[in-house]
Structures are given as structure tokens and as C-alpha cells.
Amino acid sequence: MQSPRRISVIFGTRPEAVKLCPLIHALERHSDLSPHVCVTGQHRELLDQVLEAFDVVPDVNLNLMQPGQTLSSLSARAISGCDQYLADAKPDLVVVQGDTSTVFCAALASFYRRIPVAHVEAGLRTWNNDSPFPEEINRVLTTRLAAYHFAPTEQAKANLLRDGVAEESVFVTGNTVIDALHLAVERVRQQPPEIPDLPKRFLSRTSDRRMVLVTAHRRENFGAGFESLCRGIALLAHRFPDVDFVYPVHLNPNVREPVNRILSGKPNVHLIKPLGYLPFVAVLEACYLVLTDSGGVQEEAPSLGKPVLVMRDTTERPEAVAMGTVRLVGTDTQTIVRHVSELLQDHHAYGLMSRAANPYGDGRAVPRIIDKLAEFPNIKAELLRLKIAA
């Protein structure tokens, strides 16, 4: 009897963990597939929160995170660490997700060892190498290295075909973030989490105060962009004293300094510590609208009927923009104020965005990916048989 094929799942950040943990559990339940989990620790504390929420214990932790690390130093350590891990683990296939430095480095190390790579959430594009930075280049390069591409939407598939990827290696599955969100919503409704920095009324469905959830941390917004968006939030807080602005502030000093300087001390602006995944989902479900520069929130919020204003000039997720549930507003202070004010004051405009459908899936992406992984041939064994492996 043939032993289960070993599938190495490599990731390093909170968003990757959210989108891969449901897949890891599905792999564990499959008789012919055996997961082996390697985390790089690119985001140490935020990553651990998600692993605990989903009850996933890594087999290997490379612990790459260092204070003040540059992209180059991180990438060098990630490639070397992943290479040694692959030499020891000897997987038949490597799974990566998204567009982080971990994704590209793991794909490159796998390519060097002639181990096929399956890329989850493949095909996202802005066609602008500087936005988001460095994620656009990470995912483009990962596309060139991957053998299999799990595209979340038909648009993502079209992007891959435009990049010259063979159609038979592309599979439209939906986004695994919706699978994770469905699991999380069920859990937080059964047992609402305690959030020490927020009064319980913030999560109450009967509260008479509306909440705007703010998430902002993008590298390309550092500096002038952050100054501008923080001024926009400050003006909104002054204009709408009956609305609470809740901002889980990223740990990066480039985020914390302008946020604390411009927004601290305002009575209806609540600067709180980064949230674990389940508390974040609880706040997301309770909020009125989302103001963000994140990628994943653009996918999650529409499932809960929350309008999303994206503080970026481009997005690799244009489907929700086309359907009307997401709107690009950039980082200009007055533009942010105008769009948020419209949604807070115009019930018709709010209703149009909150009722828009979610184009990112039905919560069944994981079983579709599992079905394909089970079908794939053991490419590594085939390469060895043909004596063309390195």
C-alpha cells in the first residue's frame, strides 16, 4: 500500500495562516495526503495568535523574525532556512499562499530542489510593481515558479493566462479566507471573545453607536500616506462624535508613530493592540463599515455585509470594486473624509454597498483544493524516474 504523500505547507504571516489553517485540517483528515507544517515566523506574535485560534501546531518553526530586519536580510534567511527545511522534510509537494516574502522564498527554494509548488490565491495582480510593494513582485515571481495555481476568481485565472501560464495548471476554487471566516463567525457567535481594550458594548448588536473599523499598515503608505490618512480619521472623529473609530494598531514603528501622534487622546478614537483572529472577526461583524489598506479584509467584509473603503490607489482584488462592495479612496485626507461621511450620512449609498454580493467564494474553496491535490501525480517521483531531478 502506497504511503500518503507528504505535503509541506509553508507560511510566515497572519494572513497566510488564516487562509491555510482550514486547508491544513482538511489535509489531516485525508487518507492519502499528509501535511507537514513549516512556519518561517515572518510575523511572530500575530502568527501565533492565528495558530492558537485554529489549533494548529507547526512541525517546524524557522524563527526568522529579527528587529529592524530589511526585506533583503529576511529574504536571504528565508531562502536558506526553507532550503534546509526541504532537505530534511523531503516533501512531495509544497503549498504556499498569497504574496509575502515567505511565499516567494519558499517557492524559490522548492524550485531549486525540484519540488513542485502549489500556489493558493494565485493570479492576483495590480500590474504595478510598486503597489503593493513588495507583494506584487512576490506573487508574479511565485507564478513563474509554481506548478499548480489555485485561483480564487475567474479574473485571477485570466491574469494567469495573460502571464502565459498553461490553462491546465490553473484551477478556480474561490478564496480559502471565506472558509476560515465561516468557521470563525460560528465560533464567535457561540462564544463572544473578550477584548480587554474595548468595552463589551462595542460588540453588542443592540448598541446605538456605530463603529468604523480601521486597519492600516501597508509599507507603500509609510510616511506621507500615513500622515494623510491619520488626519482624515482625526477629522472624521471630530465631525462624528457619536461614531467610534476602532483601530488595532500594527506593531511596526512606521505605523505606530504617526498613528499615536495624530490620533491618541481623541475620545471616540480607540487605538488598541493588534487583535487575534477570532476577536478581529467579532469586531468586523459588529462594525458599521471598514476603512482599510489591507488585502484580506476586502475579501472578508463583503461576506458580512460591510462596505469597505480601501486607502490605496490600486487593488489586486478588483472583483469587489466592480460589484460595488469595495471602493478605492486612496490616502488623501479630504477624499477619505468625503467617502466615509457619505456612508455615515446617506443610508441609500450605504445600503447599495452593504447589499453587494461577495465575489470571492462560497466557503468551499478548501475541499476543491483538496480534491485537486489528491489528483495530482507524484511529480517528484516522476522526475527521479526520468533521471532529470537535480
Residue 218 is predicted with a pLDDT of 84
Q: Are 6 and 92 in contact (CB under 8 A)?
A: yes
pLDDT digits (tens, 9 = 90+) for 349-376: 999 999 867 889 899 999 999 999 998 8
- Write the CB contacts of 70 (distance below 8 Å, at least 6 apart in sequence): none
Fill in the amino acid letter for 235.
L
The catalytically annotated residue of 14, 250, 317, 368 is 250
pLDDT digits (tens, 9 = 90+) for 89-146: 999 999 999 999 999 999 999 999 999 999 999 999 999 999 889 999 999 999 999 9
The catalytically annotated residue of 219, 256, 327, 364 is 219
Residue 390 is predicted with a pLDDT of 37
**Residue position matching grid coordinates 492576483:** 124
Please report which confidence band the pLDDT of residue 206 belongs to, taking 50, 70 and 90 as the band edges: low
Pairs from 168-175 (Cβ < 8 Å, separation ≥ 24): 170/122, 170/123, 171/368, 171/369, 171/372, 173/361, 173/365, 173/368, 173/369, 173/372, 174/360, 174/361, 174/362, 174/363, 174/364, 174/365, 174/368, 175/19, 175/121, 175/299, 175/360, 175/361, 175/365
The closest of 308, 311, 268 to 290, measured between CA atoms, is 308
Residue 389 is predicted with a pLDDT of 40
Q: Are 254 and 226 in contact (CB under 8 A)?
A: yes
- Thinking of the domain 5-174+364-385, which architecture would CATH place it in? 3-Layer(aba) Sandwich (3.40)
Look at residue 45 and tell me whether its pLDDT is greater than 80.
no
The residue-averaged pLDDT of 24-32 equals: 96
Look at residue 230 and tell me whether its pLDDT is greater than 60.
yes
Half-sphere exposure of 131 (CA within 13 A, CB side): 12
What is the 3-class SS of 233-300, one letter each residue? HHHHHHHCCCEEEEEECCCCHHHHHHHHHHHCCCCCEEEECCCCHHHHHHHHHHCCEEEECCCHHHHH
This prediction has a pTM of: 0.87
pLDDT digits (tens, 9 = 90+) for 323-337: 999 999 999 999 999
Residue 330 is predicted with a pLDDT of 95
List the grid coordinates of 178: 471565506
Half-sphere exposure of 227 (CA within 13 A, CB side): 2
Please report which confidence band the pLDDT of residue 300 belongs to, taking 50, 70 and 90 as the band edges: very high
The catalytically annotated residue of 92, 121, 285, 319 is 121
- Annotated catalytic residue 121: yes
The catalytically annotated residue of 99, 293, 316, 319 is 99
Q: What percent of the chain stands above pLDDT 70?
A: 95
Look at residue 88 and tell me whether its pLDDT is greater than 50.
yes
Residue 198 is predicted with a pLDDT of 87
- Annotated catalytic residue 139: no
The catalytically annotated residue of 5, 43, 119, 135 is 135
List the grid coordinates of 336: 477619505
Quick one: 196-354 is in which CATH superfamily?
Glycogen Phosphorylase B; (3.40.50.2000)
- Annotated catalytic residue 316: no
The catalytically annotated residue of 5, 14, 125, 217 is 217
- Annotated catalytic residue 99: yes
The residue-averaged pLDDT of 50-67 equals: 91
Q: Where in the chain is the domain with CATH 3.40.50.2000?
A: 5-174+364-385, 196-354
Rounded (10°) angle between helices 365-375 and 14-29: 60
